[in-house]
């Protein structure tokens, strides 16, 4: 029975992986500037093999594509599609990790205030007329700082550690949300306020290679420990006493999870703006397909999240004449699913 289930899970992973690959490469073909599949393959293979040719001293192949096609693929669509995949995977991994740590399926990556802190940092950067990189860096630092503040407040509290952390996150998040509202109040209504409002709705319209590099390093640094420790998250779902009886240092493990999840959440929000619901909803779909074991659940959540956000971003840039913010589209999907999860949870408790 277990062998059949294991094969079933492997088959689902293969299907999910192929679906992600298909969506990822199909996204390069979608847009107002048409690109043929053959041209896409040649441009990408040329870009991948170029360092090898230079290393071996070989002559570069003669391009059979135009400079415009190469620019559209490598400079416009590649950073955006790759960044959508990275952000979707990161937010899903953070959401799944927090849900396991807090033993609450309704927890999302912004539970400790990372998103609100990043939003305040970006709004402050726009108000102070920082450059694009300065705004991104400010959002990242304030996102990390918000969670650090929530963690410090929870450590000095005499309440239950988990409850005090959640309450501290709510308070800190509310504080930074109020700060963002104040920044919007004093911002210039002709230039700064629209920029702040649009940033807070989430978008990858201005994604560049530098954004991909900025997000990719923290996401890798935060995701690798979570993947290596994902089997230990299973023990946290059993409860504090049970985990300690099995030899798990729950305080240290929680600190690692919070640090890693905060790092990838802050990096994602800093380059994409506020994109809600992914870290809440996607792990639930992963559980339906792959069960509750975090050895499967965490990688599955990342693949599903990456696929989902790439699809949503394609809709955002193609569905209307002007681009639709990602936060609006993910809310349209996430809110009904959240209601369904609440109803389903209530029905489960009745039985």
Q: Can you give the pLDDT of all 351 residues of the chain as single tens digits?
A: 467 788 889 999 999 999 999 999 999 999 888 899 999 999 998 888 877 777 777 666 677 888 899 999 999 999 999 999 999 999 999 999 999 998 888 888 989 999 999 999 999 999 999 988 999 999 999 999 999 999 999 888 877 777 888 899 999 999 999 999 999 999 999 999 999 999 999 999 889 999 999 999 999 999 999 999 998 898 888 877 787 887 888 888 999 999 999 999 999 999 999 998 899 889 988 998 898 899 999 999 999 999 999 999 999 999 877 888 998 999 887 778 777 766 765 434 433
The CATH superfamily assigned to 78-350 is ABC transporter involved in vitamin B12 uptake, BtuC (1.10.3470.10)
| Of 292, 303, 302, 295, nearest in space to 16 by CA | 303
List the domain boundaries for the chain.
Answer: 78-350
Phi, psi (rounded to 5 degrees) for 286 = -65, -40
Tokens of 257: 């999870």
pTM of structure:
0.91
What does the alpha-carbon distance between residue 14 and residue 141 come to, in Å, rounded to a whole number? Answer: 37
Residue 187 is classified by DSSP as S
The helix, strand and coil proportions of the chain, stated in percent and rounded to the nearest 5, come to: 80, 0, 20
What does the alpha-carbon distance between residue 270 and residue 264 come to, in Å, rounded to a whole number? Answer: 10
């Amino acid at each position: 029975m277990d062998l059949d289930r294991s094969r079933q899970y492997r088959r689902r992973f293969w299907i999910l992986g192929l679906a992600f690959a298909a969506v990822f490469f199909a996204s390069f073909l979608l847009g107002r500037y048409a690109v043929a599949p053959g041209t896409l393959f040649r441009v990408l293979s040329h870009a991948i093999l170029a360092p090898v040719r230079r290393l071996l001293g070989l002559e570069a192949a003669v391009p059979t594509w135009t400079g415009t096609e190469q620019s559209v693929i490598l400079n416009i669509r590649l950073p955006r599609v790759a960044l959508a995949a990275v952000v979707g995977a990161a937010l899903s991994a953070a959401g799944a990790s927090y849900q396991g740590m807090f033993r609450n399926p309704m927890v999302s990556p912004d539970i400790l205030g990372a998103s609100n802190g990043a939003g305040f940092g970006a709004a402050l950067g726009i108000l102070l007329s920082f450059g694009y990189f300065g705004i991104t860096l400010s959002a990242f630092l304030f996102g990390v700082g918000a969670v650090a503040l929530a963690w410090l407040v929870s450590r000095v509290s005499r309440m239950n550690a988990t409850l005090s952390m959640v309450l501290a996150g709510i308070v800190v998040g509310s504080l930074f949300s109020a700060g963002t509202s104040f920044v919007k109040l004093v911002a210039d209504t002709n230039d700064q306020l629209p920029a702040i409002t649009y940033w807070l709705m989430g978008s990858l319209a201005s994604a560049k290679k530098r954004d991909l590099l900025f997000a990719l390093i923290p996401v890798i640094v935060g995701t690798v420990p979570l993947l290596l420790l994902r089997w230990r998250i299973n023990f946290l779902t059993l409860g504090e006493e049970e985990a300690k009886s099995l030899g798990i240092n729950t305080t240290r493990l929680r600190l690692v999870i919070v640090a890693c999840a905060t790092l990838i959440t802050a990096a994602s929000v800093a380059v994409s703006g506020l994109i809600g619901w992914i870290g809440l909803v996607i792990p639930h779909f992963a559980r339906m397909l792959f069960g509750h074991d975090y050895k499967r659940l965490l990688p599955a959540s990342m693949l599903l999240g990456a696929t989902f956000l790439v699809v949503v971003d394609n809709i955002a840039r193609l569905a209307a004449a002007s681009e639709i913010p990602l936060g609006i589209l993910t809310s349209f999907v996430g809110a009904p699913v959240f209601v369904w999860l609440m109803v389903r949870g209530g029905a489960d408790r009745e039985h």
